[in-house]
Amino acid sequence: MPTAANKKRKYNYIWISLVILVFGIIFIPKIVDRLAQGDVVRDERSAPTLSSGELAYIENGATGERRKVPPFSFLNQDSVLVTDKDYLGKVYVVEFFFTTCPTICPVMTKNLVELQNTFAYTEDFGVASFTINPRYDTPTVLKKYAEKNGITDPDWHLLTGDQDEIYRLAEEGFYIVANEVEDAPGGFEHSGMFALVDKEGYIRSRKDGFGNPLIYYRGTITQEQGTNAEGEEEQISLLKEDIKKLLKE
């Protein structure tokens, strides 16, 4: 014969089962629907947000030392010799480009002109544009390119010189791709990223939500465009914010 305790336990199991059943009928379809719409655990499934705090120093993996722009010396569009020392005390953006580039360079130049105009009255801001086709991009050619594209900042130098030295600067100094490739559009392959350098010559960037440095900023998407066909977001607005931070240091 079942005891009173066993009967009570049995009734408790029945009630628990009924509660679970009701919960499943009412709430599980709603949870499934929210998952389908991306409303559940959204933060865990989304890409990490980019920190707006203190900017990171970029470290060399082998030594752990802060990555600093190595010495360089090239002629600018006015045939004036410009070195890395001329940029000390300035916050500046670095790019590698060439004037006959048929793909990403026009957008990169447009974005840099936007930065130029944003910081038009800032004496300690500049840009360094290194051509990866110095055989064609002479100071005269660079001067015409500057005039055509509205480059007016006296601290925006379009630099040309020995091709091997420029490629070494790109690859060893900035870890940025710069190659002469016969089958590439325009005959050259290069990165569409911008590097940000502080007043002491160190490469800097903001961090992502995991604490990793962004390192470079996308230069091939305008603020007006917002995102490209691959869904990548523009980073010129971030670059503007970070230039302002470094100017205050």
Distance (Å, rounded) from C-alpha 187 to C-alpha 49?
36
What global pTM score does this model have? 0.79
Pairing label, strands 193-197, 91-97: antiparallel
Mean pLDDT of 236-240: 97
Q: What is the pLDDT of residues 200-233, one digit of tens each?
A: 999 999 998 888 999 999 999 999 999 999 999 9
Distance (Å, rounded) from C-alpha 129 to C-alpha 107?
14
Which H or E run includes 159? Answer: strand 156-159
Q: Which CATH class is domain 51-247?
A: alpha beta
Question: Which candidate, 122, 132, 192, 186, places its Cα nearest to that of 160?
Answer: 132
Distance (Å, rounded) from C-alpha 183 to C-alpha 187?
6
**101 labelled binding-site residue:** yes
**190 labelled binding-site residue:** yes
Contact 173, 183 (CB under 8 A): no
Contact 111, 219 (CB under 8 A): yes
**105 labelled binding-site residue:** yes
As to burial, measured by CB atoms within 10 angstroms (0-12 exposed, 13-18 middle, 19+ buried), residue 132 is: buried
Contact 145, 113 (CB under 8 A): no
Q: What is the pLDDT of residues 98-139, one digit of tens each?
A: 999 999 999 999 999 999 999 999 999 999 999 999 999 999
Question: Which candidate, 57, 243, 218, places its Cα nearest to that of 155?
Answer: 243
DSSP 170: I
41 or 10: whose pLDDT is higher? 10
Q: What is the pLDDT of residues 43-78, one digit of tens each?
A: 333 344 556 678 999 998 778 899 999 999 999 999
DSSP 86: G
Domain boundaries, the chain: 13-45, 51-247
